[in-house]
Structure 1
Amino acid sequence: MSGAPGYQRFFAELKRRGVFRAAALYGTAAFVAIEASDLVLPRLAVPEWTVTLVVWLAIVGFPVAMVLAWTYERTPAGLKTTDPAQTVELDAIAAQPMRKRWPAGIAALVGIMLLSLGAWWTLTRTGPGASTYDSIAVLPFANLSGDPDNVFFSDGLAEELINALAGVGDLKVAGRTSSFALRDQNLDLRRIGDTLGVETVLEGSVRRSADRVRITAQLIDAETGFHLWSDEYDRDITDIFLVQEELARAIVRAMLPRLGGDSEELHRGGTSDVEAYDLFVTGRQKWYTRSVPLLWEAVDDLEAAVALDPNFALGWSGLADAIDALAYRDARAQALVPRAKMAAQRAVLLDPDLAEGWASWGVLAFEAEQDWTTAELALKRAIELKPSYAWARASLGDMLRQRGRVKEAIEQQRMALELDPLSPQANSTLGLSLAVAGQWEESRARYERSVARGEESGAQPALMLWGVQMGLTSDEIGENAVGFARTMGAGDPEVARVLGPAIAADDPDDALLGAALGSVATLIADSVLTLQQIAALYTRLGDHETALDWLVASSAGTSLSTGIVGVDPSLDPLRNDPRMQALMDEMGLPNGYDPAADTYVAEEER
């Protein structure tokens, strides 16, 4: 009888039969297979369970492989059943020094550990959130139709995909302004992903011919350049909204496999009328320019769209937005505001789950009617329906700021800026809230970034009126005044330059003050200034009575540009005047911003 202990004889038998070697090779190969499947299979848009299947096959296969290694041995003649061991043979193996016995066992242990690690790492990640991406930017689709007029159509398709994907709660969708700002910049995908803060990029092309449309789209990992999904759709133009829905669902399945294809409808409020759709996308692209002449055209386009299809909910929402933007910039459009309110409400009645309709209604509720309760409920409903709806978040921030809830406004507008980082409007609205909060340095940075992105009309008046608090020189204030006057179409923009030294001076002399007041009068005659800007300039120049006269006059009409008078720092010198106090009470606005009364605790501070 051998003197070697039983456990040593067992390990000697495992070594003799090649089980240790098989465990090492199998474990290493299984680890490589598991990791490769976890990396590659999700990018081939196969079902997520395929990765789990590979893992379990590797686990189940391990004992099978060990049994086969124990039972059979490979010989020059092929596989044959392993002969029973002789006692002396096992004793000889057990008697070997450790440097010869241990390497095989250690290799087997490493193989088992690799298999266990690969299986654990993959299986613990194959719940919600595994093999997924949760952020995307939709770039403008290339127009391959040969007709420049079809750019509106291809841009509209990309925009509608952004809107559809924004309704997926687990998905961060870069805003339209930021995604479209990268058009024709020839940036590599990694740079695009870094700039917009997204993991994936969707790009594509549109070829339209008569009543047919061919859409090609591909979803790409911005970091690696892997194509996660691609497809081509050749359909009748009347099916455009169905194609958009199909596209959005395919993208969601590729990015978030756990959602499958059974999520609720992603695209809402569409039309089957091709002409109405063309007018809608054309008007919507003009709305984005915020150019007064193009806004008038946008209103006409969208009116024609809803006339062709009165049940076109997105068309009604677009009409409300176009009138709102126009009335803010052109007093002649104030008479259209009731039409805008009706259009927004019509959109919601046609489709109660249309986020765009709720957002349009909310914006008009606080801008045109100071109906704060309706505005807040409507805008929060829009965000609930589309968490990545940057414009709704920015607008909610505007409303909250006007009510003196500035901390809450800043939180919403930071979220909007995160979703749409290149948007001039997102930078300007956050800049305004920061100015009200007295955070002048960051406010200036946001406004200057907005100007750099081409949004002079919203940023330059702020840099003019609050230039002193922001640390600008009189020349810089004057340059912003001239730039603003030029943007707004003043007859002689240079007339505004004198406002720089007048605003910067603590006590301007009579000559400078007279020149500045004359400049304001000229700008008023040229329809450059909003009522609030007029009041703010007169306040800064020391003519408080005239400033109050303008504010009282503005409250008598339906002006969409007087909303921040309650918290505008420019008007703080008027706050103790009884007329100002009565006016703020009448308008339901706070009479100045009181940080001590703003008790909201921002989410990141909770």
Structure 2
Amino acid sequence: MTAPVHRHYRIAGYRLDAMTRELFAPDGAAVALTPKAIDVLLQLIEHRGQILGKDALLASVWPGRVVEENNLTQLISALRRAFGTGAGDHRYIVTVPGRGYCFVATVEDEALPVPAAAAPPGADTGTTTQTSADRGAPTPAAPTRWRWLIRGALAVVLFAATLAAGIAWRGQMQGPVVATNAATATMTLAVLPFRAIGREGDGRDEMLELGMAETLIARLSRATSMRVLSLNSVQRFTGAKVDPLRAGRTLGADFVVEGSTQQRGNSIRVNARLLSLADGRTVWAGTFDQAPERVFTLQDVLAEAVISALSLEDTASARHSSPCDGSDARAYRAYLRGRYLIFRPDPRRLTEALAAFRQATDRDPACARAWAGAAFAYRALVITGERDPRAMFPLAKQAVTQALAIDPDSAEAYSSRGFIEFWYDWDWARAEASLRHAVSLDPNLAEAHFALAHLLNNIGRADEAASQARYAALLDPLSPLVNTLVSVFVGNAGHVDEARQRLEKVLQLEPDFWIAMVIRAGTALGRGDHAQAITDLRRARELSGDSSIVLSYLARAHVQAGDRGAAEQVLADLERRARTGYVPASSLAAVYSALGDRERALDMLERAYAERDVHMSFLLVDVRWLTLHQEPRFRALIRRMHLEDEEY
């Protein structure tokens, strides 16, 4: 059997240990690189002298994930700096425009035998010849580890000196992770809900579990250039004893924060630790004691600990507390409940969320985040609950105005404002400006990237939409809504295989997610599988509470299957409902169009325009209008919506 080997590569005095995944400078000092940077370097070296395409690099370093090319560019820049050159210096790594990268420096490849104790069971531990370049070479691993431990101890001492008065703290650093600025943006951090450890028989405190994570996510999102995952994706790990490393890998994270809270007399003890997914080690751990009414204000201390442990720069512009920062625990709990409810929106939950946000603002009128949350709930009720937009959107606008009056830098408020300008005002330029400003205020706000992708898709800028959509999915990797619509946006940009894979993933995670079922039904109709489409749409009708949008697609499927009577029954049901309540005129228009009554369909679309029907913002991309595209009245509506000109 071939002996297992321990590969070393020497590059102009530098030494790369492929087994321990460490790069050492000519003087023996460890060079700080992230795990992903090491992955890229190994790929380049193993294919040295060859042009390695960007797609191939992305696929090998991030297998099974869709990642922005910019992430790879930043890692290449970090590697060039690691070798003591500038970002544009090509002495080691050459950029071949339009093709990829090539490692051009001379490499000495050494294969050393793995010691018997390290070999897998049954392995042949034969020897290989050691090169003369390796004899007498330094063995820096142990000294380097001690240097990191010493630096870690110093970092702990410095950090402890900065803690706010009144907080008892005990913590330890277990070898800091140093991140270069270029690689920081590619590092993904997941903050899991903190487990509330109560006395036996006590119920769980779910809002405390989520609240500790939410405040820390908000603080780290504002303070660093790391990719910090949304509460929406991590909240599924609430409650049960979760393996943090497994959760982190499920989320595609590089680092994960986990913690617990426990009532101790008149205070709450918070334990937290930062774990590296690359090797499973604890990078930092700490214990804090805080009064129950102030427990949600620990985010600054926790964030500074994480930032220090990762050797990042704190980019927060100020240390002042933002509105609704947790200093009023009861108001913050009400806000958290509202946030929790809008993550899985349906009419009942959204109504309860509005009540929770109102409770938060009644107690703390300066809670800008609760006002922004209320704006979200009002506009979501229009889509999910089929409420009249002329009643809901003015309320959403008032809530956004209130949020921005309190906190002019509220990314959440700007995101909601962008959605209102998009769905209700149909002012594409202002909507884009608001959403891009939200992204600039908080690059980790998945909702803002998602909204921007939605807007760009609807106004015909499919490639830009796909890019924003993929980033939203990186920030909120387990959201069924985000991933479903991302599948649509990337499909519209021509990435059909990726679209199919994303939709399949959603339905694996959430088999009863009705929006994904509607999209799958559309693809089934496209290939002529009417039975599958109707099965999906009937189930979606049930799960959505008889959504008129689902009914309009079901009518279309019945017509294509040759069952016109079933489609007419759907129309009768919708017309009956419209006599006693609000039904989007666009849904009626879609059924008339499916039945071939183009004049009635166009009448309903003109009514939808007059009623500010939010579905009019989809006019350019909605497949329900394909048969109407050449109608003069339809073209006139397109012009009135300013959807023909790509520049608005």
Structure 1 counterpart of 2:227, from 172, 193, 196: 172
Correspondences of 1:149-228 after superposition (within 5 Å): 150-183=205-238, 188-207=243-262, 212-228=267-283
Q: What is the aligned-residue RMSD (CA, Å)?
A: 3.8
Structure 2 counterpart of 1:474, from 513, 518, 530: 530
Distance 1:331 1:259 in 2: 46
Aligned to 1:7: none
Distance 2:599 2:190 in 1: 51
Distance 1:158 1:438 in 2: 37
Aligned to 1:515: 566
Q: Note if 1:579 corresponds to 2:633.
A: yes
Aligned to 2:425: 369
**Contact kept in structure 2, 1:431 and 1:444, CA below 8 Å:** yes
Amino acid at match of 2:193: P
Q: Note if 1:392 corresponds to 2:443.
A: no
Aligned to 1:416: 472
Distance 2:402 2:591 in 1: 39
Aligned to 1:487: 543
Aligned to 1:432: 488
**SS at 1:315's partner residue?**
helix
Aligned to 1:456: 513
Aligned to 1:84: none
Distance 2:484 2:548 in 1: 26
Aligned to 1:560: 614
Amino acid at match of 1:422: L
Q: Note if 1:569 corresponds to 2:623.
A: yes
Distance 1:31 1:516 in 2: 75
Distance 2:243 2:376 in 1: 34
Change in 2 beyond 3 A, CA 1:227/1:336: same
Please report how far the alpha carbon of residue 296 of structure 1 lies from its aligned counterpart in structure 2 after TM superposition.
0.4
**Contact kept in structure 1, 2:552 and 2:588, CA below 8 Å:** no
**SS at 1:391's partner residue?**
helix
Correspondences of 1:33-432 after superposition (within 5 Å): 33-37=142-146, 40=149, 46=155, 128=181, 134-145=187-198, 148=203, 150-183=205-238, 188-207=243-262, 212-255=267-310, 257-259=311-313, 264-265=318-319, 268-270=322-324, 272-332=327-387, 334=389, 335-432=391-488
Segment of structure 1 superposing worse, 319-328 or 260-269: 260-269
**Contact kept in structure 2, 1:143 and 1:150, CA below 8 Å:** yes
Change in 2 beyond 3 A, CA 1:260/1:547: closer
**SS at 2:614's partner residue?**
coil
Change in 2 beyond 3 A, CA 1:351/1:519: same
Amino acid at match of 1:518: Q
More strand, by proportion: 2
Q: Deviations over 1:443-480 (max 9, x none)?
A: 344334334433724222233345322x3622210121
Please report how far the alpha carbon of residue 265 of structure 1 lies from its aligned counterpart in structure 2 after TM superposition.
4.0
Distance 2:547 2:156 in 1: 64
Distance 2:437 2:352 in 1: 30
Aligned to 2:602: 548
Distance 1:544 1:131 in 2: 54
More helix, by proportion: 1
Change in 2 beyond 3 A, CA 1:447/1:491: closer
Please report how far the alpha carbon of residue 553 of structure 1 lies from its aligned counterpart in structure 2 after TM superposition.
2.0
Please report how far the alpha carbon of residue 302 of structure 1 lies from its aligned counterpart in structure 2 after TM superposition.
0.6
Q: Deviations over 1:232-282 (max 9, x none)?
A: 222234434531222222212212x24269764496332533322121111
Change in 2 beyond 3 A, CA 1:246/1:490: same
Please report how far the alpha carbon of residue 574 of structure 1 lies from its aligned counterpart in structure 2 after TM superposition.
0.7
Amino acid at match of 1:226: R
Distance 1:393 1:495 in 2: 29
Please report how far the alpha carbon of residue 415 of structure 1 lies from its aligned counterpart in structure 2 after TM superposition.
1.0
**SS at 1:412's partner residue?**
helix
**Contact kept in structure 1, 2:534 and 2:558, CA below 8 Å:** no
Aligned to 2:37: none
The runs of 5 or more residues in structure 2 that have no matched partner are: 1-135, 159-177
**SS at 2:535's partner residue?**
helix
Distance 2:454 2:186 in 1: 31
Compute the TM-score of the two structures, normalised by the length of structure 1.
0.71
**Contact kept in structure 2, 1:460 and 1:480, CA below 8 Å:** yes
**SS at 2:205's partner residue?**
helix
**Contact kept in structure 2, 1:138 and 1:158, CA below 8 Å:** yes
Distance 1:473 1:501 in 2: 10
**Contact kept in structure 1, 2:184 and 2:226, CA below 8 Å:** no
Distance 1:175 1:415 in 2: 12
Q: Deviations over 1:77-113 (max 9, x none)?
A: xxxxxxxxxxxxxxxxxxxxxxxxxxxxxxxxxxxxx
**SS at 1:566's partner residue?**
coil
**SS at 1:427's partner residue?**
helix
Aligned to 1:83: none
Amino acid at match of 2:187: D
Change in 2 beyond 3 A, CA 1:569/1:169: farther
**Contact kept in structure 2, 1:283 and 1:302, CA below 8 Å:** yes
**SS at 1:225's partner residue?**
coil
**Contact kept in structure 1, 2:331 and 2:364, CA below 8 Å:** yes
**SS at 1:46's partner residue?**
helix
Distance 2:627 2:605 in 1: 14
Change in 2 beyond 3 A, CA 1:314/1:590: same
**SS at 1:401's partner residue?**
helix
Distance 1:338 1:355 in 2: 20
Please report how far the alpha carbon of residue 303 of structure 1 lies from its aligned counterpart in structure 2 after TM superposition.
1.5
Larger Cα Rg: Structure 1 or Structure 2?
Answer: 1
Segment of structure 1 superposing worse, 186-195 or 388-397: 186-195
Amino acid at match of 2:567: A
Please report how far the alpha carbon of residue 298 of structure 1 lies from its aligned counterpart in structure 2 after TM superposition.
0.5
Change in 2 beyond 3 A, CA 1:384/1:38: farther
Amino acid at match of 2:370: G
Amino acid at match of 1:579: R
The runs of 5 or more residues in structure 1 that have no matched partner are: 1-26, 50-124, 592-596, 600-606
Distance 1:274 1:36 in 2: 42
Change in 2 beyond 3 A, CA 1:30/1:332: closer
Distance 1:411 1:337 in 2: 28
Please report how far the alpha carbon of residue 180 of structure 1 lies from its aligned counterpart in structure 2 after TM superposition.
2.5
Change in 2 beyond 3 A, CA 1:543/1:585: same
Distance 1:38 1:561 in 2: 61
Amino acid at match of 2:280: G
Aligned to 1:57: none
Aligned to 2:17: none
Segment of structure 1 superposing worse, 381-390 or 541-550: 541-550
**Contact kept in structure 2, 1:477 and 1:500, CA below 8 Å:** no
Distance 2:180 2:474 in 1: 27
